[in-house]
Structures are given as C-alpha cells and as structure tokens.
Structure 1
Amino acid sequence: MAEHRIVNGLSVDVEDWFQVGAFEQVIDRKDWDGLALRVEDNVARILDLFAEAGVKATFFTLGWVAERNGPLMRRIVDAGHELASHGYDHARVFTLDRRRFANDILHTRKILEDATGTPITGYRAPSFSIDARTPWAHAELIEQGYTYSSSVAPVVHDHYGWRDAPRFAFRPVADAELIEIPVTTAILGGRRVGAGGGGFFRVLPYGFSRWAIQQVNRRERRPAIFYFHPWEIDPDQPRVADASVKSRLRHYTNLRRMTPKLRDLLRDFAWGRMDEIARREAQGAIALAA
C-alpha cells in the first residue's frame, strides 16, 4: 500500500560505472574519456521507469557527464524532473580546500545551466563527503546561492559518514536559508543504520528498505531520502578486475535484481523531487548547534 500522506525524496546520482569511489584507486580520471560511456542509455531507462510509475525525481549530475550529454540533460528537465549538481568529477569534498570546492561547484553549475537554461539550486556531494572535516562547505554553498544540499550521511561508514549529524533536515549555518537534508537512516537495535538506497538497497532484501521507509514515514512522520545510480541497473557493464574483492562485491552484487526492486519501491511509496521536499522540510528544519 502506498504511503500517500508522506512524499519521499527520490534521487539519482548521475555518474558512469568508472566514476565511483570504489574504483578511484584503480581507474585514473585522465583515462575516463577512453572508457565505454554507458550513462546515457542507463539514464534513459530510468526515465522510462519513472514515467511508467508516474513519479518525478531529482538527478544529481556530474558536470563531466553533463558536458558530454547535453541532450540527455534537456530530456531530464523536459520530463519534469529536477536537475541538480553532483560536483564536476566526483572529487570528495574533504579532499578539497574551500577555494577548489568553490571552483568545482561554480563550474558544474554553469555546465548544467548552460545545457538546460534551468536554474540549479540543489547540490549533493560525491560520496556524501560533507562532514565535520569541511566546516566551510555549507557556507560556500550559501554564498553561491544554493537553497538546499543533500550531502550528509549521518552514520559511521568506511567511505563516508558524519556520525553526529542530525538524521533529518537541519540548517547548517544559523539564519541562512540553506537546509541540509541527510540521506535516510533508520533505528535498529538503538543504532543508526544506513537505509537510503545505494548499496544498502541493492544488496539487502527489499523488505529491509520497505521496513526502514515505513519507520521513517509512520513512526517519525518524516520523508525518507532515497538515492541510486544509473550503473546499478546495468548488469552488462564492464568488470574492473584490478579493484579489491570488497569493492567488486559492493559494486556488482544484485545488479540484475535492481530494476524489479525499484519497481516495487516506486509502487509501495509516494515519491517527489528533492527541491519540493526541501521547501516543505525548511519549515521545520532545526539549527545545527555551533
């Protein structure tokens, strides 16, 4: 049964199979243009899937991808979805200083806006890499006119995580309009667990994600924030033999099951764009203590 009273945030992190954090040590950025580009076909399939389900979503897109796929960016917007920034080339925010971060988000925003003529107001950091190490990141987003970010994972994880961040929407800078909307976590055995999509959704049984979203919607009366990647619906993508066993297991497990699980998810809950979630959540967003 769909959760009609709570509209959840549906998002796609638009990056190709070779641009993921799991492969950043074995695939050099300078080699990207020589690799098979599969993101256009995968996003087209996602657009068809969303149209079939009658849902709208936000596509957090790398500037590198948008540069090479202008017509696809226009197709996303023309279908009624939101286009938002995912940075230029998937550099994690905590690997940058403020100046380099500022240049990254400015450059990416220009690419996206030039491709579609649509204002870009949302941002998601690659690998949810805004955390306690980047106290200047939200301030820079505010300075550049962004209205929301969905860049925080309030969990402990080996690749990312801001353990002490709030679980739901908050204002990271007092008296500023920008709100941060963390990816969803659930409470299991008194502990926070990641439950907002990505590998958690693909690897674990669908029942876990359904339970977690129901917990957030029914018990806490808040929207869930869900994300996935175009490569996750692509079981025929190239294999990266040089990656670690752990990285390969994370990346390739259950790729063939992803599309049917997404259809179940889109059917069982109500979904909307992240900018719409941000507008509603802004009314109750807490201020982050200094």
Structure 2
Amino acid sequence: MNVLQVDVEPWYCDLPRERWDARTDRVVENVDRILAMLARTDNEATFFVLEDVARNHPDLIGRIRDAGHEIGSHGVSHRLLSELSPAELDSEIERSVDALRDAGVDGVEGFRAPKFSLNESTAWAIDVLEDRGFRYDSSIFPVKTPLYGVPDAPREPYKIGADDLTRHRGDGLWEVPLSAYRVPGLDVNVPVAGGFYLRALPYRFLRHALERRVAAGHPAVCYIHPWELDPTIPRVDEYAWFYYHRLGGAARKFQRLLNDFEFTTTERYLDSIEGRSERAAADLEA
C-alpha cells in the first residue's frame, strides 16, 4: 500500500504574505485537475491544505472530501519552522484547523510543514503537534539537501519524538517520511518522492526506485504541488530556477505514476499497519 500526498497551496505562497492578494489564484483549476486524474485511476490521496486556500475556496475543500480523500493541515504562512516560535506554530495550527472545520472537515489527523522544514533544529515542533492531538506528521525527508533533510532518519514510517528524530520510539506521533532511494554501495539517500524530483529525474529511474521500496515491503510515499502541473504560472524574480524546471512535462509523468502504482491516503495506510500490529499481537496471545 503506497501513499500519495498533495500540498494544496497557491503558486505564490513563497512570496511575502503582503503580496498574496495581488496575485491570480490558480489553485482551484489545478486541484480539480488532480482530482480528475485520481478518479480516472482509482487512486486516493492526502491533501495538506494551506489555511488561505481553505478560507477562500471552501467548495474546493468539499469536493476533495466528497471524493473520499483525506484532508490535513499545511499551516498558514508557509514560513519555515525555523522562522516560527512554538507559540506561533501553535497559533498557525489552530487557525488552519479552524479554517478546515469551517469548510466542513472534522478530525484533522495529519500535518505537513512547509518545505519539509522539520529537522534537528526544529524538532520542538513534534511536541506542539502532539499537544494539538495530531496522529501523524509527514515533514521529514531522509536526505541531505541545501534546503532540508534529516539524512539519518528512517526511510519507513516510525514513531517520532522531539528528543531524537532518527530513532523509533514505542508510542506517540507517527512520522511518515517522504520516499528516498538508498544507492547501493554509497550509503547515500536520493530523493525520489515526487515534486521537483518527479520533474527533474528520469521517470524510469523513479519507477525503479519506488518499485524497490515496494518490493522490500515499504510504502512509496510521494507528493505533488498543484502548481507543478501548470507550466504557465507567472515568472517572478524572487523564485529560483527549480520552481520552473521542467514544468511542461510534470503532468505526463504524474499520470504515469498514477498508472503504475496504487495509492491511498496517509490515514488509511496507518490504519492498515496498526491493524496488522493488532492482529499480530492477538495471534501471539492466542
């Protein structure tokens, strides 16, 4: 069972917040395109929704929910966790969950930090999420890049603690890391989860890497941003080259991913592994 996640945010969310209102919002059209692709391939996904989208487009949130997909929190400001205090993150979570509740979503279980910014210096965020009653986080990329990553983190879902992001603990919050490929003989992880990597890397390599994970009994955990399927998003000087790299081929490769793999939501995946654990425990007692 594999996991697909969609970070529901407008293309301009990494610009200063005071400039958002002056931009053309394409998120509805792009998310509706993803919903149609999921319906055609009988796949499911978790949609991590930014508060601004939930407030401005409650009908879109309803369509996601009514199609049977999961909805999680993506915060408010799209600022890195390192730019927030624990109190500020707590406030963002409250605002985000309130916006989703107003749009008809109850029982938000999952959180995605902007830009995968959960790392050793921001591990305090785990305590905030636990206090808020989340079931899981999915913000760790077990790789090393100039922008993010916890390279020594497990590459499969595990229980996480703020004291050590790289060690499984017996209880608490689930962490569902994004997929990385362990290069044989080099002891290095290569990101293969989707997003920029779906655009930049050859699809044949991505499929091979994900198939290796599945064959080993681990889920392929993949993601996409709706704006990545829109090659006509405006060019702005503030954005680095990787925002626009190979946008024209992203929709085709994403379609291939949906054709080649079966995806479910994060919560349903966790339900399945917790169910297996409970059955195994019952068998031992018997």
Match of 1:208 in 2: 205
**Conserved? CA contact 1:234–1:255, under 8 Å:** yes
The alpha-carbon distance between structure 1 residues 243 and 132, as it changes in their structure 2 partners (threshold 3 A), is: same
CA deviation after TM superposition for structure 1 residue 281, in Å = 4.0
Match of 1:187 in 2: 182
What secondary structure sits across from 2:93 in the alignment?
Answer: helix
Does residue 12 of structure 1 match 2:6? yes
Question: Where does structure 1 lack aligned partners over 5 or more consecutive residues?
Answer: 1-6, 21-26, 285-290
Match of 1:23 in 2: none
Q: Which amino acid aligns with 1:12?
A: V
**Conserved? CA contact 2:198–2:254, under 8 Å:** no
Following TM superposition, the consecutive aligned residue runs of length 4 or more in structure 1 with deviations greater than 2 angstroms are 173-177, 278-284
TM-score (norm 1): 0.88
Measure, in 2, the Cα distance between the counterparts of 1:48 and 1:118: 24
Percent of aligned pairs with the same residue? 36
1:93-242 aligned within 5 A: 93-173=81-161, 174-188=169-183, 189-218=186-215, 220-240=216-236, 242=237
Measure, in 2, the Cα distance between the counterparts of 1:112 and 1:88: 11
The alpha-carbon distance between structure 1 residues 76 and 269, as it changes in their structure 2 partners (threshold 3 A), is: same
Measure, in 1, the Cα distance between the counterparts of 2:49 and 2:191: 22
- Cα deviation 1:60-87 (Å, max 9, x = unaligned): 1101111111110011001111111011
1:20-31 aligned within 5 A: 20=14, 27-31=15-19
CA deviation after TM superposition for structure 1 residue 140, in Å = 1.3
The alpha-carbon distance between structure 1 residues 214 and 65, as it changes in their structure 2 partners (threshold 3 A), is: same
Q: Which amino acid aligns with 2:255?
A: R
What secondary structure sits across from 2:122 in the alignment?
Answer: coil
Measure, in 2, the Cα distance between the counterparts of 1:19 and 1:81: 23
- Cα deviation 1:27-71 (Å, max 9, x = unaligned): 321010110101111001111111111111110110111111111
What secondary structure sits across from 1:158 in the alignment?
Answer: coil
- Cα deviation 1:124-145 (Å, max 9, x = unaligned): 1111111101232111111111
CA deviation after TM superposition for structure 1 residue 166, in Å = 1.6
Q: Which amino acid aligns with 2:272?
A: R
Length, aligned pairs only: 267
Match of 1:252 in 2: 244
RMSD: 1.5
Measure, in 2, the Cα distance between the counterparts of 1:18 and 1:208: 30
Measure, in 2, the Cα distance between the counterparts of 1:270 and 1:149: 22
CA deviation after TM superposition for structure 1 residue 279, in Å = 2.4
**Conserved? CA contact 1:148–1:181, under 8 Å:** yes
Larger RCO, structures 1/2 (Cα 8 Å, 6+ apart)? 1
